[in-house]
């Protein structure tokens, strides 16, 4: 997959060329290239921004260097996606990343300052993507997030040991807890079931833990997972076990809260009595 990033801060992208993505680049599975928009500026001082028409704070990125950079980079028969990273865009999800990973080529535009002249977007952007409901100082970090989560889905980028198949959001559940050596650390032990080599029991435990953590932290995600599946009798038992655990924990928490309420009511009474004295 070929990814070109149009930016005024190309030096920010060094992390994309290390670790797993760096290895994939060396293996020829990925080609990630940063292009400095400034080199396309026809302005006397190679400026890439100017004050907004209509007034207001900040500067707006000029259309000309962006459009020229985009045209130069995309060439004649471009058939990929041209994406502008922006808090106004559609929120990036795993599903979106999976769709983008099927493209041969992506061109990412990173904006800065108060935004980009709308005409640059109208002329050469296919879609806007946001990485979440918060505002960054520029699109560079957002582009890095997008590249990382899309590139790791390109076949061959992850080794077998880093497989993307069983992980959160792909399986529909958050990930179960993981442990490695030693068996005991600061008094905390590894769950016994993971040590006894019974693969079927280990899978049941992992499913139980994954469903449990998803129900606790992302109930809407757990609901989608449960609604969309048919369970065998055995799997149903595992699922029921999770609901039992949650019910027992919630009952216990309720009892503890009632006991604490009772205690504080007693304490209030004591205070009132004291005041009476
Ligand atoms: N640029 C600034 N904030 C952003 C965000 N949340 N997502 C994508 N690009 C951005």
The verdict on whether omega for the bond into residue 223 sits within 30 degrees of 0, i.e. cis, is: no
pTM > 0.85: yes or no = yes
Per-residue confidence (pLDDT) for residue 267, from 0 to 100? 74
Centroid of ligand 1 to alpha carbon of 63 (angstroms): 19
Per-residue confidence (pLDDT) for residue 276, from 0 to 100? 47
Centroid of ligand 1 to alpha carbon of 147 (angstroms): 14
User: Looking at ligand 1, which residue's alpha carbon is closest to its atom 2?
Assistant: 136
Centroid of ligand 1 to alpha carbon of 12 (angstroms): 15
Q: Where are the alpha helices (DSSP H) in 32-169?
A: 63-74, 94-100, 118-124, 140-151
Supply the angle between the helices 199-217 and 233-276 in degrees, to the nearest 10.
40
Domains 2-159 and 167-277 share a fold: no
Per-residue confidence (pLDDT) for residue 114, from 0 to 100? 83
Centroid of ligand 1 to alpha carbon of 197 (angstroms): 46
Give the Cα separation of 32 and 17 in Å (integer): 8
CATH topology of domain 2-159: Alpha/beta knot (3.40.1280)
**Which of 108, 133, 136 to probe ligand 1 with, by most ligand atoms within 8 A of CB?**
136
Per-residue confidence (pLDDT) for residue 164, from 0 to 100? 63
Ordered by start, the domain boundaries in the chain are: 2-159, 167-277
Per-residue confidence (pLDDT) for residue 167, from 0 to 100? 67
Per-residue confidence (pLDDT) for residue 265, from 0 to 100? 78
Structure tokens that stand for 234 in this block = 């055995």
- Tens of pLDDT along the chain (277 residues) come to 999 999 999 999 999 999 999 999 999 999 999 999 999 999 999 999 999 999 999 999 999 999 999 999 999 999 999 999 999 999 999 999 999 999 999 999 999 878 999 999 999 999 999 999 999 999 999 999 999 999 999 999 998 756 665 566 668 999 999 999 999 999 999 999 999 999 999 999 999 999 999 999 999 999 999 998 999 999 999 999 999 999 999 999 999 999 999 988 777 666 555 554 3
Q: What is the CATH number of domain 167-277?
A: 1.10.1270.20
Give the residue from 75, 207, 61, 74 showing the smallest Cα distance to 121: 61
**Which of 61, 85, 127, 134 to probe ligand 1 with, by most ligand atoms within 8 A of CB?**
85
Per-residue confidence (pLDDT) for residue 63, from 0 to 100? 98
The residue behind tokens 């504080």 is: 264
């Amino acid at each position: 997959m070929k990814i070109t990033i149009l930016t005024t801060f190309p030096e920010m992208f060094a992390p994309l060329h290390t670790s797993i993505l760096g290895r994939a680049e060396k293996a020829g599975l990925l080609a990630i290239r940063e292009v400095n928009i400034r080199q396309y500026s026809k302005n006397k001082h190679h400026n890439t921004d100017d004050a907004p028409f209509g007034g207001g704070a900040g500067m707006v990125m000029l259309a000309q260097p962006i459009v020229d950079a985009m045209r130069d980079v995309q060439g004649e028969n471009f058939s990929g996606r041209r994406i502008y990273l922006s808090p106004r865009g559609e929120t990036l999800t795993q599903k979106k990343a999976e769709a983008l990973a099927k493209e041969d080529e992506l061109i990412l535009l990173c904006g800065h300052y108060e935004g980009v002249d709308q005409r640059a977007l109208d002329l050469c952007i296919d879609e806007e993507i946001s990485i979440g409901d918060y505002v960054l100082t520029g699109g560079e970090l957002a582009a890095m997030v997008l590249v990382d989560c899309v590139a790791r889905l390109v076949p061959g980028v992850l080794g077998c040991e880093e497989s993307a198949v069983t992980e959160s959001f792909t399986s529909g559940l958050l990930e179960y807890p993981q442990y490695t050596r030693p068996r005991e650390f600061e008094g905390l032990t590894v769950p016994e079931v993971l040590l006894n080599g019974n693969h079927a029991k280990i899978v049941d435990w992992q499913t139980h833990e994954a469903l449990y953590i998803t129900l606790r932290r992302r109930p809407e995600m757990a609901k989608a997972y449960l609604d969309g599946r048919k369970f065998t009798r055995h799997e149903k038992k595992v699922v029921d076990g999770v609901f039992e655990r949650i019910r027992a924990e919630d009952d216990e928490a309720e009892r503890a809260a009632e006991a604490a309420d009772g205690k504080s009511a007693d304490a209030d009474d004591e205070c009132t009595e004291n005041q009476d004295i």
